[in-house]
Structure 1
Amino acid sequence: MSDPQTPAPFIDPNRPSVARIFNALLGGKDNYQVDRDVRDRLLQRAPALGDLAWDVRSFAGRVTRFLARDGGVRQFLDCAPGLPNTENTHEVVQRQNPEATVVYAGIDPIVLAHGRALLAENERTHFIEADFRSPDQLFDHPTVRKCLDLSEPVAVIHIGTIQYVSDARRPAEILAGYIDRLPSGSYVVLAHAYDPEDGSFTPELREIYQDSEVGLGHFRTRSEILSYLDGLELIEPGLVAVSDWWPDGPRIKAQDPVQRLALGAVARKP
């Protein structure tokens, strides 16, 4: 559902998009040749990036299911909507509780177009155009004010968002802007690109991530990522590689070191 007054977004098929590249890494169809070209160059230099993309996707599904089923959360604000795929946030949530509300917030034109088309008939799910880097503006959006009751717990999802915020933009303050607005009992889901400081994040990998046509984010240390959750209670197993956050079963093959380059956590506001 979206504001009917919102103009149709402009989609440039000649310029790569982070959302479309991620979709291509997952084997999706919602991308253009320019996105697939970037994907192919990334995979040529780091073949396990496709596996890491699926690890992040699976983490999102597991944490969302946990919060809707075991955490009893009925309201979700997903600040990291990608292109429609299997097991989207609202599908996972509303399978557990059909009355739960999900609000997606994003600014990528193709994500907005696909999301609004997908959700046109879902009255419990909404898609708004809003920049996650401005939490006050996001929370003041008419749809958020109407559909989310901030006297009750809300789960805010930041999977692969904060890594695109430079230090100059003060990522910790952006997360704090969400945490301050949330009531007690709310949750923050965070996944972030990780610099393990052990030599496994080589200069070549750094170049792949930061010097591609669109830039794939800032890698930060464990202590830096953990600091973004100050004041919250980490849910076990804490801040870990995304594939290690309560996996659905035993690992049947060895992981490539590249698959350890994303950390994830779920934290509760006391």
Structure 2
Amino acid sequence: MTDKRRIDLSVPSAARMYDWLLGGHYNYEADRTACQLLLRSAPTTRELARNNRWFLERVVRTLAAEHGIRQFIDFGSGLPTQNNVHQVAQAVDPQSSVVYIDNDPVVLAHGRSILDENDRTTIISADITETDYIFSHAEFKRLVDLSEPVAVLFISVLHCISDEAEPGQLVQRVVERLRPGSFVVLCQLVSEDPRLRQKVTELMLEQTQGHWGRVRQKQDVYDYFDGLAVQPPGLVDVTDWRPDSELRQRQRSIEWTEFGGLAEVPARP
């Protein structure tokens, strides 16, 4: 069921490309080359990646400090960097639990080496669309009590899922398992320029050998949030989602944006 791909360092991965854009060290020549090609089409992609990472920090801190969330499920967690979900959440409450999910072999290897010493955190090897497998996993059940509120994170990952895999249905399947009072964080790459969407989508499909979805539009993100209670300030460029300091320079991405926000799972009729 889960992805058993061998590590082929000649094929770029979206996770390792993101790591390079953030100034990380878990990337290889193929990833760096692919990033340089991407930057030719979208020169401010590095700024986009940084703004998205800062959004993750702010939204997790908000969920932990203001909404009292102590359980986090991070779909498509990517490579470890500074201020990961568990570090931000556990700074508020050390007993916060975090389940990371990814299928990139490099992500899994580096993630496990870091998380082995933290018994409130784990990483599950799975394709994020394998919801039955994920929710029945022993490590998931050890750390997550679905009778209590949970925060589910789909941060900069749904554009990696093809239309055939139905990312909207994935979100719906996950939400159906959550009790009211839980939260969903979601953002993905969008552009209203059809030429850019096509160019970047084709580039990423070619570079990752098909392990990619497509750049979508804002309306797609609105559709993902259907039936959820979107929290202020609404669905926005994540750069503008409750910025915590004017001292942190916010250079905007121009060609495309990470668009999304935070929503609560409402009481069911």
Unaligned runs of 5+ in 2: none
Structure 1 residues 253, 182: CA separation in 2 closer, same or farther (over 3 Å shift)?
Answer: closer
Q: CA deviation at 1:21?
A: 0.7
Quick one: distance in 2 between partners of 1:55 and 1:73? Answer: 23
Q: What SS is found at the alignment partner of 2:110?
A: helix
- AA matched with 2:88: V
**C-alpha RMSD over aligned residues:** 2.0
Q: Does 1:182 align with 2:174?
A: no
Residue of structure 1 in register with 2:165 after alignment: 169
- AA matched with 1:90: H
Residue of structure 1 in register with 2:45 after alignment: 49
Quick one: distance in 1 between partners of 2:251 and 2:46? Answer: 15
Quick one: distance in 1 between partners of 2:7 and 2:165? Answer: 26
Residue of structure 1 in register with 2:12 after alignment: 16
Q: CA deviation at 1:31?
A: 0.6
Moved more, 8-17 or 22-31: 8-17
Select which of 103, 106, 110 maps to 1:107: 103
**CA shift digits 1:210-232 (9 cap, x unpaired):** 32312654222222211111211
**CA shift digits 1:139-181 (9 cap, x unpaired):** 1111112221010001010012221222222222111100000
Quick one: distance in 1 between partners of 2:249 and 2:125? Answer: 40
TM-score, normalised by the number of residues in structure 1: 0.90
Moved more, 185-194 or 41-50: 41-50
8 Å CA contact 2:187–2:260 kept in 1: the answer is: yes
Q: What SS is found at the alignment partner of 1:257?
A: coil
Q: What SS is found at the alignment partner of 2:176?
A: helix
8 Å CA contact 1:9–1:110 kept in 2: the answer is: no
**CA shift digits 1:51-94 (9 cap, x unpaired):** 00111111111111110111100100111211111111100010
Quick one: distance in 1 between partners of 2:233 and 2:170? Answer: 24
Select which of 105, 114, 121 maps to 1:118: 114
Q: CA deviation at 1:192?
A: 1.0
Unaligned runs of 5+ in 1: 1-5
Q: What SS is found at the alignment partner of 1:131?
A: coil
Select which of 32, 39, 60 maps to 1:36: 32
TM-score, normalised by the number of residues in structure 2: 0.90
Identity %: 39
Residue of structure 1 in register with 2:78 after alignment: 82
Q: What SS is found at the alignment partner of 1:181?
A: coil
Quick one: distance in 1 between partners of 2:25 and 2:188? Answer: 25
Residue of structure 2 in register with 1:3 after alignment: none
- AA matched with 1:208: V
Q: What SS is found at the alignment partner of 1:211?
A: helix
Residue of structure 1 in register with 2:230 after alignment: 234
Residue of structure 2 in register with 1:61 after alignment: 57
Q: What SS is found at the alignment partner of 2:7?
A: coil
Select which of 252, 257, 262 maps to 2:254: 257
Q: What SS is found at the alignment partner of 2:243?
A: coil
Residue of structure 2 in register with 1:208 after alignment: 200
Quick one: distance in 1 between partners of 2:186 and 2:64? Answer: 16
Moved more, 161-170 or 98-107: 161-170
Quick one: distance in 1 between partners of 2:96 and 2:265? Answer: 20
Residue of structure 2 in register with 1:91 after alignment: 87
Quick one: distance in 2 between partners of 1:110 and 1:218? Answer: 23
